[in-house]
Amino acid sequence: MVEHVIARSLDEALDCLNQHEYTILSGGTDHMVQKRSWAGTKPLFTKPVLFLHQVKELYGIKVDSNVMEIGAMTSMTCIEEHPQTPTILKECIRQIASPGIRNAATLAGNIANASPAADAVCVLIALHAKVVISSANHTYETFVEQVITGPRKTILKQNEMITAIHIPLLVPTFHAFYKVGGRMADAISKISLAGFIYIHNGKIAEFRLCFGAVGPKVIRNVEQDFAMLGKDIEYLAMEMDSYIDSYIEAISPIDDQRSTKEYRQMVAKNLIKKFILSFVEATNG
Amino acid sequence: MNEIRFWLNGKEVHHPYEPTKRLLDVLRDHYSLTGAKEGCGEGECGACSVLIDSLIYPACITPLAHVSNAQVYTIEGIKTLPSYAIIEEAFIEEGAVQCGICTPGMVMATLALLKKTPHPTLEQIKDGISGNLCRCTGYNMIVKAVLRASLKGESPW
Ligand SMILES: Cc1cc2nc3c(=O)[nH]c(=O)nc-3n(C[C@H](O)[C@H](O)[C@H](O)COP(=O)(O)OP(=O)(O)OC[C@H]3O[C@@H](n4cnc5c(N)ncnc54)[C@H](O)[C@@H]3O)c2cc1C
Ligand code: FES
Ligand code: FES
């Protein structure tokens, strides 16, 4: 029986993954709950656990040529407190859980857990963030949306792990993160929207909307977003309703135990509308 | 590697190597520290709050591995601190304790908040205790108690 491992270095962690099947534990805020058993008994992990908590190389934030590199074990609290963290990500983190959870929770866990309602994933996709994935033999980078393939499903192989997140620091002309849920501190989003607009020479140069909790995974409709590029603000205001209709059709919200399809459609529409109107107001005002 | 070493309320302890065990169970069952309570067992109610290296965490979802080499404080361990006396007095004066089950967690959350933010705004107080549920007080008295403690206390907490 392979034992649980508290890795002391990145090499040790990657070596372990190369040799056996492990369950990776970062903050544990998703996994300790999912594997929970009765009080007084150990959580029901079916595989040995690889703890990343003591791997110093995985902590910290560096900024280099306009890209922020966040070590996989860096807590949401540290990310929220960093002066160069994009405002939209700070706003999102402040709406995630409570201080105690944010002290433990990581972006890597939020991504790898692949929940359709993961709030940070929604914002990271809108920010064009990339994930650095490493194994004992290789390291590569890919966009967050490419890592998550379905509910609780990722492209990560058994010998791979997330070692860092890269966020380009393009300051948007306008951004917003809206989260609709029950009680703030522990509400799983019923629906969330991250929006990012960048205007260059009076034209829309970046238009990114990303929805959480509407379907099996966090979703961005790239085609609809691309249709906005090169347009000016008046066009956006004028075409808003038809844009919203085709957007909603394309993301087709679902029914589940937290909400109905109709509710999600309605709220998704209202959120896009709120986002666009706030943007138009902010630029005209 | 057949044990996990940490400091519990200031004393060095060597615990058997059970890294997946919940810190809450280790505290309550092994060290008889029952101040941290189990409410929900899933990180939502804050009744099990402890300080690890001065930051607040829910002990019910903290695996023992995460306290390796760390300083862990429970409500029993902070009782002798001057800052505890200030918080206790403020909670009594504002009537912030009714049945009391949430109180150890609320006190830990208050201390964690004041350590970081000695003069919090109302919003910061609400965020500071946002991970702690109380079924009795309606929160207003607790918010007032935290505010009162912050006005009485001198940093550093
Ligand atoms: C009370 C409570 C409230 C919450 N509220 C919110 C909320 O409002 N919004 C929200 O989005 N989430 C919320 N969460 C969920 C959770 O806190 C987040 O998803 C968090 O980001 C998970 O990070 P972690 O490090 O704790 O993950 P862990 O539990 O450590 O891991 C989660 C999953 O990711 C895998 N994994 C972790 N790290 C890596 C890595 N480096 N490489 C590869 N795989 C990895 C693990 O194997 C596991 O499958 C809440 C949780 C609780 C308990
Ligand atoms: S028992 Fe730990 S948060 Fe509820
Ligand atoms: S005083 Fe009873 S739960 Fe808070």
Tell me the sheet residues that pair with A197: A174, A207
Q: How confident is the model at residue B1 (pLDDT cuts 50, 70, 90)?
A: low
**pLDDT score, position A129:** 98
Tell me the sheet residues that pair with B11: B8
Give first-to-last CA distance, chain A, whole Å.
66
Query: If DSSP states are collapsed to H, E and C, what string results for A68-98?
Result: EEEECCCEHHHHHHCCCCCHHHHHHHHCCCC
Asked whether the beta carbons of A141 and A133 are under 8 A apart, the reply is: yes
Query: If DSSP states are collapsed to H, E and C, what string results for chain B?
Result: CCEEEEEECCEEEEEECCCCCEHHHHHHHHCCCCCCCCCCCCCCCCCCEEEECCEEEEHHHCEHHHHCCCEEECHHHHCCCHHHHHHHHHHHHCCCCCCCCCHHHHHHHHHHHHHHCCCCCHHHHHHHCCCCCCCCCCCHHHHHHHHHHHHHCCCCC
Q: Give pLDDT tens digits for B61-79.
A: 999 999 999 999 999 999 9
Tokens of residue A50, six digits = 């690889």
Asked whether the beta carbons of A138 and A115 are under 8 A apart, the reply is: no
B113 at A interface, C-beta within 8 A: yes
Give alpha helix (H) positions in chain A. 10-19, 31-34, 76-81, 87-94, 99-104, 107-112, 119-126, 144-147, 222-226, 233-251, 261-284
**pLDDT score, position A196:** 97
Q: How big is chain A by its Cα radius of gyration, in Å? A: 20
Q: Give the span between the Cα atoms of A94 and B126, in whole angstroms.
A: 12
CA of A79 to the centre of ligand 1 (A): 15
Residue B154 pLDDT greater than 90, yes or no: no
Give first-to-last CA distance, chain B, whole Å.
36
A4, A42, A103 member nearest B57 (Cβ)? A103
**Model confidence, pTM:** 0.96
- For chain B, which residues make up each domain, given as ranges? 3-77, 81-152
Give A120: exposed, middle or buried? Use CB within 10 Å, 0-12, 13-18, 19+.
Answer: buried
Contact A25 B63 (CB under 8 A): yes
In degrees rounded to 5, what are phi and psi of residue A244? Answer: -60, -45
Asked whether the beta carbons of B110 and B124 are under 8 A apart, the reply is: no
**Domains of chain A, earliest start first:** 4-168 (3.30.465.10), 174-284 (3.30.390.50)
Cα dihedral A148, A152, A153, A156 sign: positive
Query: Best substitution site from A4, A21, A22, A30 to test ligand 1's pocket, by max atoms within 8 Å of Cβ?
Result: A30
**pLDDT score, position A76:** 98
Q: Give the span between the Cα atoms of A237 and B109, in whole angstroms.
A: 46
Count of CB pairs separated by less than 8 Å, A with B: 98
Q: Give pLDDT tens digits for B23-56.
A: 999 999 999 999 999 999 999 999 999 999 999 9
Class of domain B3-77: alpha beta
Task: Provide the mean pLDDT of chain B.
Answer: 96
Mean pLDDT, residues B112-117 taken together: 96
Residue B153 pLDDT greater than 90, yes or no: no
Q: Give the span between the Cα atoms of A34 and A133, in whole angstroms.
A: 24
Collapsed DSSP state (helix, strand, coil) of residue A265: helix
- Asked if domains B3-77 and B81-152 share a fold, the reply is no
**pLDDT score, position A160:** 98
Q: What is the CATH number of domain B81-152?
A: 1.10.150.120
pLDDT means over runs of 10, chain A (285 residues):
93 98 98 93 95 98 96 98 98 96 98 95 97 98 96 96 98 96 69 96 96 90 92 91 88 80 90 96 85
Residue A42 DSSP code: -
The Cα-based distances of B36 to A37, A208, B73, B99 in angstroms read: 18, 44, 10, 15
Contact B127 A51 (CB under 8 A): no
Q: To the nearest whole angstrom, how far is the Cα of A12 from the nearest Cα of chain B?
A: 14
**pLDDT score, position A260:** 86
A45 to chain B: closest CA residue? B20
Mean pLDDT, residues B89-110 taken together: 97
